[in-house]
Amino acid sequence: MDLSGIISISGRPGLFKVVAQGKNSIIVDSLTENKRFPAYASDRISALDDISIYTVEGDKPLRDIFSDIYKKQAKGTAPSHKEDITTLQAFLIDILPNYDEERVYPSDIKKLFQWYNILHASNNLKPLEEEKPAKKEKADKSSDSTEKKSKGKKPAAKKPAAKKAAPTEKKAPAVKKAPAKKAAPKKNTTNK
């Protein structure tokens, strides 16, 4: 899953996509409400790409967990975050059997399913397996065309790079100053 540019802002419900960067803030677009607003440095911002779930052996990135849910649900939605916590924990154990039950709180599990369903509803769940073959095909086509061109031809000899001349300093032209004009004396225009 590619979660780059998708963030969570503490105190605001839902997820947001980073659209642009302002002078003292970032401009984000809500994935649920399609509203655009600035998020400031004082907001607690978390990038989904940097979040992981504790396991007994270490940490597992959120993108890998979302990918596993995506495969298990056959590209469908996950259970709602409003379901009973035991149902959500049982689903998570199917996906990640070795998650650390002491350090992963029920609120974290609910947030995991809520975020997955938000990303699914906004069409932001794109498995890397589906994206890579398209890029690979383009790379294969370009390498095939270069091989066809190079067959039967000798590689072109490289020409030595020409030496660059040292930059010459240009002096600014001398500017003549006009002589200063004397101010005319003021006439006394007071009436008596």
Q: What is the pLDDT of residues 149-191, one digit of tens each?
A: 444 455 555 555 555 544 454 444 454 555 555 555 565 656 5
The better pLDDT of the pair 102, 140 is held by 102
* pLDDT tens readout for residues 32-73: 888 898 898 888 999 988 989 999 888 899 888 988 888 888
Q: What is the model's pLDDT at position 125?
A: 81
CA distances from 159 to 9, 162, 163, 177, 192 (A): 55, 9, 12, 52, 92
With cut-offs at 50, 70 and 90, classify the pLDDT of residue 20: very high
- Measure the CA–CA gap between 21 and 36, rounded to whole angstroms: 12
- Evaluate if residue 110 carries a pLDDT over 90: yes
Q: What is the model's pLDDT at position 181?
A: 55
Does the reported pTM lie above 0.85? Answer: no
Whole-number mean pLDDT of the chain?
76
Q: What is the model's pLDDT at position 150?
A: 45
Give the end-to-end CA distance of the chain in Å, rounded to a whole number. 93
- Measure the CA–CA gap between 37 and 35, rounded to whole angstroms: 7
Q: What percent of the chain has pLDDT over 90?
A: 16
Instruction: Give the fold, CATH level 3, of 6-121.
Output: Arc Repressor Mutant, subunit A (1.10.10)
- Measure the CA–CA gap between 96 and 92, rounded to whole angstroms: 6
